[in-house]
Amino acid sequence: MVFGEWFEKIKNTKGIYEFRIQDSNKFYRLFAFWDRTQEKETLIVCSHGLTKKTNKTPKKEIKKAEMIKEKYFDGLI
């Protein structure tokens, strides 16, 4: 699923999306998730980012984003 031109859901994740940007010859990825707990507003929460060096997103970075999301909704951060 793609949200606009910027966010793309990472397959086989618990609602983690990538925001991709390219600057010169460098590629950047920001990991994000949606907080839809408010009735009228949705908050996009960016967990962390990295400079992309390969075509494949490291699994440890995806797990880190999922852990941050879990802590966020548990009220720990």
Which pLDDT tens digit goes with each residue over 19-77? Answer: 888 788 788 889 999 898 888 778 888 898 888 777 788 899 999 999 999 999 998 87
Which pLDDT tens digit goes with each residue over 64-75? Answer: 999 999 999 998
Answer yes or no: is pLDDT of 2 > 60. no
| Residue showing tokens 């920001």 | 30
User: Contact, 69 vs 48, CB < 8 A?
Assistant: no
pLDDT for the residue 7: 84
Residue 31's nearest CA partner among 72, 68, 70, 75 is 68
- The pTM (predicted TM-score) of the whole model is 0.79
Q: Enumerate helices (H) and strands (E) in the chain, giving the number of each.
A: 1, 5
pLDDT for the residue 1: 52
With a CB cutoff of 8 Å and minimum separation 6, the contacts of 10 are 16, 17, 18, 31, 57, 62
